[in-house]
Amino acid sequence: MLIPLILSGGSGTRLWPVSRKNLPKQFLSLTGQGTLFQQTVARTRLLPGVGAPIVVASEDHRFLAAEQLLESGIEGAAIVLEPVARNTAPAIALGALQAIARDPQALLLVLPADHLIGDTESFTDAVQRALPAAQQGWLVTFGIRPDRPETGFGYIRRAEAIGEGAYRVEQFVEKPVLATAKSYLADGSYDWNSGMFLFKASRYLEELAEYAPAMLEAVRVAHASATTDLDFVRLDQDAFAKVPDNSIDYAVMEKTQRAAVIPVSCDWSDIGSWAALWLAGVRDAQGNLREGDTIAVNTKNSLLRSHDRHLLATVGVDDLIVVTTPDATLVAHRDAAQDVKRVVDELKAAGRSEHSLHRVVRRPWGSYDSLESADRFQVKRIVVKPGAALSLQKHHHRAEHWIVVSGTAEVTCDDKVFLLGENQSTYIPLGSVHRLRNPGKVPLEIIEVQSGSYLGEDDIVRFEDVYGRS
C-alpha cells in the first residue's frame, strides 16, 4: 500500500505577519484553492491505490489538521502529535512505525505540508516512476530541475542511472553561493533538494537503525507508549523529548549507499518567503502580485497583500513586499525577504504576542476576534460553529457580558441553563461556572465584553471540554 506521510510541523516565520506560530503557512490559503496542507493532501488522492494519509503535526495544530482533513473529505487518517519539535528524521520514523502497523509492506510517500506544486500531473508521474526503485529498496528523493541559480535551496548531484528516470545520488550539497549555483545550473547534473521522498517504511527504519540507532530506539519507545484520543495519536512528552533532533538528510540520506533521485519539473516552490510567493504567483503587467483591496500607482515588481477590506495603496515604489493584517503591517525589500524571521525573533524577545497569535484566533469550536482592549476591559467578537460548545469553565479575575448579534445561544451559568436570541444579553459574574453553546444550524455570533483585574487567556479553569483540553 502507498501511504502518504504529511509532515506538518513547520512554523513559517518568513511569511509573518500572515503566518504565525499558532496558524503557520501550511494551514493558510496563500495561492490556489484550499490551504497548502489541503493542496498537499489533494495531490496524493490522484495516485492509484493510495491509502489514507498519516499526518505528523504539532500538538498546537491538532485541531487545524483535523478540521482541514474533514473539509477535504478525508477519512481514516492518523494524526500523530509531536509534543516537542524534533526535526524530520524522527517525524518520518513515527510515520514509518504508524504505516507498518497498518501494512508491513507499506510504501511511504513523504511530503512537507507547505509546498506548492503547480504541475500535479508531472508530480504524480514522478511518483509512479519512483515506485520500482522504492520497491527494490532504494530511498528515493525527488530532485527539482532548476530553472535559475537559486542560493536558497540545497542541491543533489546525480550519478549513474539505476532505472528508467532514476539515478543514484552522488552527493547532497548545502545551499551554495551565487557563483556556485550558476555552475550547478550550467553543469546540468544538479537538482534542487525538495525534501520529498518515497521508500518502504521498513527500509527507512533499517537505515535509521544503521546510522542513528539511538534515535530509532527513542522513537520506538515514544511510539509504543502512545495513546489514541479522538482523531489523534498522542505521544508521551517526556519520552519524545529524549529523541535526538536531526533531519533526514543528515541522519540518513547523506550516509546511506541506497539513495536515489528522480528529477522532475513540476512548477515546485517551498514558499519559503514572500519573495518565493511573489515568484510563484500570477503577476500583472507591472510585475506585481496583488491580493485584496490594493491600488498600485507607478509600482513595479512588488507583492501587495491587503487584509479584508483594508485599502493598501503604494506610489512610486519597486521591489517591495507590503503585507497587512488586522494587527500588523510588514514593509520589506523583496531582496530582504529571508530576514523577515528577524522581526519574529524581536517580537519573541519583547514578549509580544504578534509572533504567535493573530488578532483573530481559531479554536475547535469557532473563533474569536479581539476588537478592543485596555488595562481592565476587553471586547471580543466570538463566532461559534453550529452544534459546537465552549468548555464548561470559570474565571478568577474577570466577569463577562454576552450580547447575541446573530443566531441562538444556549447559556449555562452556575445552576441555570437558558436560551438567548438576537439582541438579547446576559451577565456572567466573576467566578461563575459557565458555558456557551450553539444549538442552532447557523453560526452563533456574540459580542463579549470582559472586565476585571486580569484578562489573559490563561485565566481559565475547565471542568468539561469535548475537545480534550485541560
What is the domain count for the chain? 3
Residues 142 and 176 in one domain: yes
Domain that holds residue 332: 281-337
Residue 325 lies in a domain: yes
Q: Sheet of 360-363: strands edge to edge?
A: 360-363, 366-373, 377-384, 444-452, 398-406, 425-428
Residue 114 lies in a domain: yes
Residues 369 and 407 in one domain: yes
Residues 330 and 382 in one domain: no
Residues 235 and 285 in one domain: no
Number of H helices, E strands in the chain: 11, 30
Mean pLDDT, rounded, for 405-430: 97
> Percent of the chain beyond pLDDT 70?
99
Banded pLDDT at 469 (limits 50, 70, 90):
low
Q: Are 440 and 386 in contact (CB under 8 A)?
A: yes
C-alpha to C-alpha distance for 349 and 343, rounded to whole angstroms: 10
Residues 264 and 287 in one domain: no
C-alpha to C-alpha distance for 315 and 326, rounded to whole angstroms: 22
Burial class (CB in 10 A: 0-12, 13-18, 19+), 106: buried
Mean pLDDT (the chain) is: 94
Nearest to 198 by CA among 107, 95, 97: 107
Residues 248 and 313 in one domain: no
Residues 261 and 314 in one domain: no
Residue 347 lies in a domain: no
Residues 296 and 435 in one domain: no
Q: Helix/strand/coil (H, E, C) string of 159-190?
A: EEEEECCEEEEEEEECCCCHHHHHHHHHHCCE
Residue 274 lies in a domain: no
Residue 221 lies in a domain: yes
The whole-angstrom distance between residue 348's C-alpha and the CA centroid of its chain comes to 20
Residues 263 and 327 in one domain: no
Residues 450 and 311 in one domain: no
Pairing of strands 268-269, 259-264: unpaired
Residue 188 lies in a domain: yes
State residue 98 phi and psi, 5-degree precision: -65, -40
Sign, Cα dihedral of 117, 120, 123, 124: positive
Q: What angle do CA 132, 138, 140 make, to 5 degrees?
A: 85
Q: Which of 306, 337, 368 is the last residue of a domain?
A: 337
Residues 96 and 193 in one domain: yes
Residue 103 lies in a domain: yes
- What are the residue ranges of helices labelled H in 62-146? 62-71, 88-102, 120-135
- What local confidence, expressed as pLDDT, does residue 224 receive? 95
What is the pTM (predicted TM-score) of this model? 0.89
- What local confidence, expressed as pLDDT, does residue 470 receive? 61
Residues 72 and 115 in one domain: yes
Residue 380 lies in a domain: yes
Nearest to 304 by CA among 329, 326, 327, 271: 329
Banded pLDDT at 138 (limits 50, 70, 90):
very high
Q: Which of 218, 234, 269 is the last residue of a domain?
A: 269
pLDDT beyond 90 at 425:
yes
Please tell me the least confidently modeled range out of 8-22, 49-63, 408-422, 454-468.
454-468
User: Residues 151-175: pLDDT tens digits?
Assistant: 989 999 999 999 888 999 999 999 9
